[in-house]
Amino acid sequence: MLKAIVFDLDDTLYPERQYALSGFSAVADWAESSLGIPRERGYAELVAYFEDGVRGDTFNRWLEAHGIEPELWLPEMVKCYRDHSPSLEPYPETHSVLRSLRGRYRLGLITQGHGPGQQRKLEALGLEGTFEAVVILGEEHRQDWKPSQVPFERLLSELDLAGSQAAYIGDNVLKDFVGARRLGMLTIWVRRPEGEHVNDVPPGPEYLADIELPDLTALEGTLEATPQW
């Protein structure tokens, strides 16, 4: 029987796009005071890069477009983005689903990225104290990031459960499910139409989830319908 439900954070419990826009707002404020670039202009330009699908080198491109050597200011921009206090709202059904599940299952969370930033996301979303076990893998643990099995092993160890006793809910078919499946966990892909990874193509069948849902609304009913797991 399932005893625990484990969640990913970004684009599973809240729209990850919100965090990017919140960070761009903070960076635009910084750029106005440090570089003299009007806030509204800087923010609009950063958002435009995001909407065009630019990821990973947004700040480099933005600085170069303004004739500024990235090496001079990039570290400060990244620090501003990572250290800002985000303005976030969970998906509409997130809190009600978690409250309902909490009465029947033990809840866990696995997330990775800039460690303090991931913690601030939980605080901004009002999710602190929601999960019995939380595994946050920071930059210093990048070698253990999903799709590695390590974060799943750590969380199962904290809960003292076997993989077959837990389900994992995530949004990224490239990294969220293969490690969990290898440990025998039930996997559920929340494939939201507006999600960052909705169109990602898995490199093989082992990367797919056991179940696919468009949001979290039907999650509890889906779990009830899989008692054989």
pTM of the model: 0.93
Residue type, 201: V
Q: Could you tell me if 108 and 193 lie in one domain?
A: yes
User: Would 229 be classed as within a structural domain?
Assistant: no
Task: Say whether both 73 and 103 belong to one domain.
Answer: no
pLDDT in tens, 139-171: 999 999 999 999 999 999 999 999 999 999 999
Radius of gyration of the chain (CA): 19
Range of the domain at 114: 4-15+90-224
d(CA 193, CA 210): 19
Residue-wise pLDDT tens digits, 86-118: 999 999 999 999 999 998 999 999 999 999 999
Q: Are residues 101 and 188 in the same domain?
A: yes
Looking at the chain, which runs of residues are DSSP E strands? 4-7, 106-112, 133-137, 166-170, 186-190, 211-213
Render pLDDT for 35-87 as a digit per residue (tens, 0 to 9). 999 999 999 999 999 999 999 999 999 999 999 999 999 999 999 999 999 99
Same domain assignment for residues 79 and 95: no
DSSP-assigned states of every residue in 75-135: HHHHHHHHHS-------TTHHHHHHHHHTTSEEEEEEESSHHHHHHHHHHTT-TTS-SEEE
Same domain (yes/no): 72, 169: no
